[in-house]
Amino acid sequence: MSNDNQQVVTIEPLLVRAEQAAKLLGISRSKFYSMHSAGLVPMPIRLIDAPRWDVNELKNWIQNRCPSREVWERTMKGRR
Protein backbone atom coordinates (compact mmCIF):
# COMPACT_ATOMS: atom_id res chain seq x y z
CA MET A 1 0.00 0.00 0.00
CA SER A 2 1.51 3.30 -1.14
CA ASN A 3 0.92 6.64 0.52
CA ASP A 4 1.07 9.33 -2.16
CA ASN A 5 0.45 12.07 0.41
CA GLN A 6 3.82 11.66 2.16
CA GLN A 7 5.71 14.90 2.53
CA VAL A 8 9.45 15.24 2.58
CA VAL A 9 10.59 17.52 5.37
CA THR A 10 13.88 19.29 4.90
CA ILE A 11 15.56 20.48 8.06
CA GLU A 12 17.94 23.40 7.64
CA PRO A 13 20.90 23.25 10.03
CA LEU A 14 21.15 25.98 12.65
CA LEU A 15 24.89 25.50 13.15
CA VAL A 16 27.34 24.76 10.35
CA ARG A 17 30.98 23.75 9.93
CA ALA A 18 33.48 26.17 8.39
CA GLU A 19 33.09 24.53 4.98
CA GLN A 20 29.35 25.15 5.01
CA ALA A 21 29.76 28.69 6.35
CA ALA A 22 32.16 29.41 3.50
CA LYS A 23 29.60 28.14 0.99
CA LEU A 24 26.96 30.43 2.53
CA LEU A 25 29.35 33.34 1.95
CA GLY A 26 30.29 32.18 -1.54
CA ILE A 27 33.99 31.83 -0.72
CA SER A 28 36.46 28.98 -0.37
CA ARG A 29 37.08 27.21 2.90
CA SER A 30 40.68 28.48 2.99
CA LYS A 31 39.50 32.07 2.47
CA PHE A 32 36.95 31.61 5.26
CA TYR A 33 39.68 30.36 7.61
CA SER A 34 41.88 33.32 6.62
CA MET A 35 39.04 35.69 7.42
CA HIS A 36 38.41 33.88 10.72
CA SER A 37 42.10 34.15 11.67
CA ALA A 38 42.07 37.86 10.80
CA GLY A 39 38.98 38.51 12.94
CA LEU A 40 36.73 39.30 10.00
CA VAL A 41 33.88 36.84 10.62
CA PRO A 42 31.81 36.16 13.74
CA MET A 43 33.21 33.76 16.30
CA PRO A 44 32.01 30.18 16.17
CA ILE A 45 30.12 28.41 18.91
CA ARG A 46 32.02 25.49 20.42
CA LEU A 47 29.87 22.37 20.29
CA ILE A 48 31.85 19.99 22.48
CA ASP A 49 35.21 20.50 20.75
CA ALA A 50 33.97 21.37 17.29
CA PRO A 51 33.57 24.97 16.10
CA ARG A 52 30.20 25.66 14.50
CA TRP A 53 28.87 28.91 13.06
CA ASP A 54 25.32 30.04 13.75
CA VAL A 55 23.53 30.35 10.38
CA ASN A 56 21.18 33.06 11.66
CA GLU A 57 24.09 35.07 13.05
CA LEU A 58 25.94 34.79 9.72
CA LYS A 59 22.83 35.99 7.86
CA ASN A 60 22.42 38.90 10.28
CA TRP A 61 26.14 39.73 9.99
CA ILE A 62 25.82 39.81 6.18
CA GLN A 63 22.73 42.04 6.38
CA ASN A 64 24.83 44.42 8.49
CA ARG A 65 27.46 44.64 5.72
CA CYS A 66 29.99 42.16 7.19
CA PRO A 67 31.66 44.29 9.86
CA SER A 68 34.86 43.11 11.55
CA ARG A 69 34.45 40.71 14.46
CA GLU A 70 35.32 43.45 16.94
CA VAL A 71 32.63 45.79 15.58
CA TRP A 72 30.17 42.91 15.29
CA GLU A 73 30.65 41.85 18.90
CA ARG A 74 30.15 45.44 20.11
CA THR A 75 27.01 45.68 17.98
CA MET A 76 25.64 42.42 19.35
CA LYS A 77 26.52 43.35 22.95
CA GLY A 78 24.53 46.56 22.52
CA ARG A 79 21.48 44.58 21.40
CA ARG A 80 21.44 42.30 24.47
Question: Dihedrals φ, ψ of 50, to 5°?
Answer: -105, 125
Confidence of residue 80 (pLDDT cuts 50, 70, 90): low
Q: Domain range holding 32?
A: 15-79
In a domain, 2, yes or no: no
Confidence of residue 4 (pLDDT cuts 50, 70, 90): low
Give the SS3 label for residue 50.
strand
In a domain, 4, yes or no: no
Note the pLDDT of residue 79: 79
In a domain, 1, yes or no: no
pLDDT at 1 over 70: no
Domain count within the chain: 1
Which residue type does 13 have?
P
Note the pLDDT of residue 71: 97
pLDDT tens digit sequence for 34-49: 999 999 999 999 999 9
Q: How far apart are CA 80 and CA 75, in angstroms?
A: 9
Write down the pTM of the prediction.
Answer: 0.83
